[in-house]
Structure 1
Amino acid sequence: MILFQRKIIYMGYAPPGARAETINPSDPLLQRMKWEEIDLESEEGVCLKGMVLQKQKQSTRASAPTIILYLQGNAGNTLHRLPVFEKLLNTTKTSDVAIFAVAPRSYWLSSSRTPSEKGFLQDYRSALLYAAKRWPHSPLVLYGHSLGGSVAVCLLSTLKLEPETRRIKGLILENAFISVPEMVRTLYPYRWLPYYHLGPFVWDRWDVLRAIKEAGKESLLRRIGQGMLIINSEKDEIVPLWMGDAMCNTVKASFRDTSGRPPTRRVIIPTALHENAWRRREWSVAVGAYLDECAEKDRNDS
């Protein structure tokens, strides 16, 4: 498990065929959305594949749409999440959104480079800067599911408020975990199991609580973290609810909100599992309201 730990954490190869699947324009889901295939470069010559998705019929609102940078979980590819994206596009009431979903290295049609914490941070930083340059008048919101949520927190902790990042207005975390070592202990809870004691040997820790505690005064995480939205599935069979509690408590203890925004919100989706919270009405209501709030904040700040 130590030698092949990155195969366990980063499962871009699952399900079989996920690395070779191509866009099918005749897919009924894609026909209900306006979509665009994207290729962009990360650092060290890594090429990333992504998609931009919007509603098929655009509204007549004058304001620029909110851009959601979607950071996926540890398996599958962008195409597998099309049902989630279609639902996400229809959550808002007073603003428009577009989804920018990028596959990091070793996922989907992106470069076959060894995945790592450093590499993922490079890839998603490149995606974020691409989004900021392409949509300079749009507010940006990071949406991370599972591993993607942990990546989003660690990414924002490394970024500072600069011209290209000033439009980042929000952060949504869905069923994110607090660290890989804690997940090891959660999945193998008995001390007599050798796996329980593998935490110190983890290479990519994705330590969310540490990222929150150590976020500097100029960190983007400190600037927007107090107003994030944390979503947890009540029946999550992978990430336990107490990890969401730990995130909320650490944010409250570490950040002082000076933005005037509502504090960090925690929404628990009744009966939902790790992968299906998006099917519940409570998810749509919480996410839609948060995105509308981010758009309104952006208009007030402009």
Structure 2
Amino acid sequence: MLLRPPLARTTTSRFFNVRLTHQYAPGLLQGRRPVVGSSYGPPNLNVRLRRQIHIPSYLLPPVIFSGLLVALYIWKSFIMVSLQNKIIYAPYLPPTARFEKISDWQKKLSGIEWRELHMRSIDGTDLALAVASVSSEPEEVTHDGVSHHVYILYLQGNASSLPPRLPDHSWILKRVQMEFKDRYSECGKVRFTQVGLSYRGYWTSAGRPTEIGINQDAIAAMQWISQLHDNTYDARDEGGQHKVKPIFIIWGQSIGAGFATNLAASGVMPAHLEPAALILETPFLSIKDMLETIYPEKWLPYKYLHPFLRNHLDSYKNLGTIAEQRKERGLRPPQIFILEAGRDEVVPPRHAEELRKRCSELNLPVETKVVPKAFHSDAMVGRVHVAEFIMKQTAKVIRADY
């Protein structure tokens, strides 16, 4: 009787890609590891070893170091993009910024009375304001006989809060109050009100700062000023216009200058509250340009991250929009005043110069002043220039109305 040979079964070793038959490697049935090239298997086994990457030992340190550099490059880029709001806006500096009180600075306010008021932003966020008002006739406290009312909306820089800035602003209001009547008596009685806006997340305002959110805050502050004027002066002429004409000036410092041009270019201004002037204190061209300024090295990733920016503050572009809108509506262009710090350690002089050239190209009247030896946060050493500009621009608008 002819016996059939046993069927050959195959298995795969977990250590080598070796296909063996149990006929030639019976040891596998007992779980023993086959010995390649031994008497347990045929001499021509199909043995395929898995490929492995082999790095010579002398190359290992530079490879590891290069890998760490690449990982750090990617990590820093990720941090810059994901935490850009934390980097740009610093309402927590100094640590006491959110706990400041106007009363803490009372002795340095030149007798100007400031009030902390609150309002709602477009999205309902609670915002704080610092408001003060003076008359061109110091002894007069009523609104009787006022011909024009100047409103100055102040948009601060990226750090600290409003109270520490009030002494300089009080000095400006006091100078305007004491000198405007003597120098521009033909303009009649004029009232000046400054409204300092505390962005969301700053001082006693709620929320977290973002460019979109602060743009809404600035629009809400402008609407608040418009409502304040309507509530204060009811009398209107035959054309339905206020007999007391408002003069609107937007003043922005550092990133506030970017928000000032954002607001002026937004196209949401009421007809009676189109800005007559913009005061740009230590301005920059845009966040993109600031990235290239702070990190000029080509090998650093930051300057290449502008496509991922959520904050732009592009004053260069905004000036073009402002000029185009005014031309289309047949309105006088706003007067631009650039206050530059002579030793600015943050924004290089090139930015102010390019903004000045941009204004000239767009036929926007522009005036610049440089405060010698002043650093970025010290431009208010030249506060006299701001006071002079406010008085001069107010008189210019009043004369044009007459």
TM-score of Structure 1 vs Structure 2, range by shorter chain: 0.7 to 0.9
Q: Who is 1:260 aligned against? A: none
Question: 2:340 aligned with 1:232, yes or no?
Answer: yes
Provide the TM-score with structure 2 as the length reference.
0.66
Question: 2:398 aligned with 1:299, yes or no?
Answer: yes
Q: Who is 2:284 aligned against? A: 177
Which structure is higher in RCO with an 8 Å CA cutoff and minimum separation 6?
Answer: 1
Q: Who is 2:387 aligned against? A: 288
Compute the displacement of 1:220 (Å). Answer: 9.3
Question: 2:379 aligned with 1:277, yes or no?
Answer: yes
Deviates more, 1:212-221 or 1:155-164: 212-221
The alignment of Structure 1 onto Structure 2 pairs a total of residues equal to 291
Q: Who is 1:94 aligned against? A: 180
In the alignment, the residues of structure 2 paired with residue 294 and residue 150 of structure 1 have an alpha-carbon distance, to the nearest angstrom, of 21
List runs of 5+ in structure 2 lacking aligned partners: 1-79, 182-190, 231-243
Q: Who is 1:248 aligned against? A: 356
Q: Who is 1:85 aligned against? A: 169
Deviates more, 1:136-145 or 1:115-124: 136-145
Match of 2:202 among 107, 123, 132: 107
Q: Who is 2:40 aligned against? A: none
Residue type matched to 1:187 in 2?
I
Deviates more, 1:61-70 or 1:94-103: 61-70
Deviates more, 1:266-275 or 1:28-37: 28-37
Q: 1:56 to 1:249 in 2, by over 3 A?
A: closer
Compute the displacement of 1:83 (Å). Answer: 2.0
Residue type matched to 1:38 in 2?
L
Greater gyration radius = 2
In the alignment, the residues of structure 1 paired with residue 327 and residue 229 of structure 2 have an alpha-carbon distance, to the nearest angstrom, of 19
Compute the displacement of 1:56 (Å). Answer: 10
In the alignment, the residues of structure 1 paired with residue 323 and residue 153 of structure 2 have an alpha-carbon distance, to the nearest angstrom, of 23
Aligned residues of 1:70 and 1:142 also touching (Cα < 8 A): yes
Question: 2:128 aligned with 1:44, yes or no?
Answer: no
Q: Who is 2:253 aligned against? A: 145
Q: Who is 1:196 aligned against? A: 303
Compute the displacement of 1:55 (Å). Answer: 5.4
Aligned residues of 2:247 and 2:273 also touching (Cα < 8 A): no
Match of 1:66 among 150, 155, 159: 150
Compute the displacement of 1:121 (Å). Answer: 1.1
In the alignment, the residues of structure 2 paired with residue 172 and residue 53 of structure 1 have an alpha-carbon distance, to the nearest angstrom, of 18
List runs of 5+ in structure 1 lacking aligned partners: 258-262
Compute the displacement of 1:268 (Å). Answer: 1.2
Q: Who is 1:35 aligned against? A: 114
Question: 2:289 aligned with 1:210, yes or no?
Answer: no
Cα displacement string for residues 41-77 of structure 1 (whole angstroms, at most 9, x for unaligned residues): 1111111101112459961575445221111000111
